[in-house]
Amino acid sequence: MTAALANSLCVGMMHLPSTGERRMATSERATEDLDRRLCVLMIDVQGGDRHAYAEVLRACEPVIRRAGRRAGVTDDRLNDVVQETLLTLHHARQTFDPSRSFLAWISVIAQRRAIDVMRRHGRNDRREVHAPLAYESHADAGSNSDRGWEQSGRVKILGAAIASLPDGQREAVERLALREQSLTEAAAETGKTTGALKVNLHRALKALRLRLGGESEHV
């Protein structure tokens, strides 16, 4: 699609120069230019242009973060909002109408996704308590300090059980439980969100507990 035709489709962004507009702040004009550029790029995206798509997705990231912050999402969960919104954009790209503002479109979607993320975490926070120290220092009434892991051979059993876990769960156990990395460190190295790591660790511990019949509570 030619640039001239694409520009003419983005009629929502067209403006006639007026005295008020000439006085418009530079930042507002830059936003308007970005909006029009993204609108033109989205027309190419709908046509299947991958370079345009990569540019649109990268340009969306700060816009989504701003919308997420405005909705009240904390910084550690903004990545979840960014990823959910980009996925929504991908599946809903055919619904974008070039006669409307792209930035308004993506901001509304990001705001809705931010609310979804807050609801989901709110439910998890009500059900679960993240207290790794309390978990580790909990005294097990059935434990026997005279009998070590090495003597009972349970290291091998535990090792085999961990090795049989799905990749994501095994990675969470190895990094958070065995190497004692913080959630932030593990997230930075794996590229996963802290939420995803917590969920994987929780599922892994549950699976190990089931598999080892109570012995895994020593993990």
Partner 1 sequence: MSDVTSLNPGTNGLIADLVADLQPVKRLPSPWLRAALWLGIVVVLACALATVADLSALRHRLMGAPDMWLAVLGSTATAGLAAIAAFQLGLPDRGRAWALLPLPGLALWLGASGLGCARTWFLPETHGPADGKDCMMFIIGLSVPLTVVMFAMLRRGYSLYPSLAGAVGGLAVAAAAATLLNFFHPFDAAITDLAVHATAVALVVGANRLLGGAILAPRRRARA
Cβ proximity to partner 1: between 79 and 200 the closer is: 79
Q: Which of 17, 20, 48, 213 binds partner 1 (CB under 8 A)?
A: 48
Q: Which of 8, 62, 74, 123 binds partner 1 (CB under 8 A)?
A: 62
Q: How far apart are alpha carbons 129 and 74 in whole angstroms?
A: 18
Q: Which of 45, 114, 117, 161 binds partner 1 (CB under 8 A)?
A: 45
Among 130, 131, 135, residue whose Cα is nearest residue 218:
135
Cβ proximity to partner 1: between 17 and 48 the closer is: 48
Contact criterion met (CB below 8 Å) for 110 and 64: yes
Cβ proximity to partner 1: between 3 and 188 the closer is: 188
Asked if 61 interacts with partner 1 (CB under 8 A), we say: yes
Q: How far apart are alpha carbons 37 and 156 in whole angstroms?
A: 59
Tell me, by CB under 8 A, how many residues bind partner 1. Answer: 38
Residues 125-184 that bind partner 1 (CB under 8 A): none
Among 118, 137, 53, residue whose Cα is nearest residue 89:
53
Q: Which of 15, 29, 90, 156 binds partner 1 (CB under 8 A)?
A: 90
Q: Which of 3, 14, 30, 87 binds partner 1 (CB under 8 A)?
A: 87
Stretch that binds partner 1, among 25-33, 58-66, 127-135, 170-178 (CB under 8 A): 58-66
Contact criterion met (CB below 8 Å) for 125 and 118: no
**DSSP SS3 for 17:** coil
Contact criterion met (CB below 8 Å) for 165 and 207: yes
Asked if 33 interacts with partner 1 (CB under 8 A), we say: no
Contact criterion met (CB below 8 Å) for 107 and 65: no
Give residues with Cβ within 8 angstroms of 70, minimum separation 6: 111
Among 195, 196, 150, 200, residue whose Cα is nearest residue 174:
200
Q: Which of 184, 188, 206, 214 binds partner 1 (CB under 8 A)?
A: 188
Asked if 104 interacts with partner 1 (CB under 8 A), we say: yes
| Residues contributing to the site for partner 1 (CB under 8 A) | 45-48, 50, 53-55, 57-59, 61-62, 79, 82-83, 86-88, 90-98, 104-105, 108-109, 112, 188, 190-193
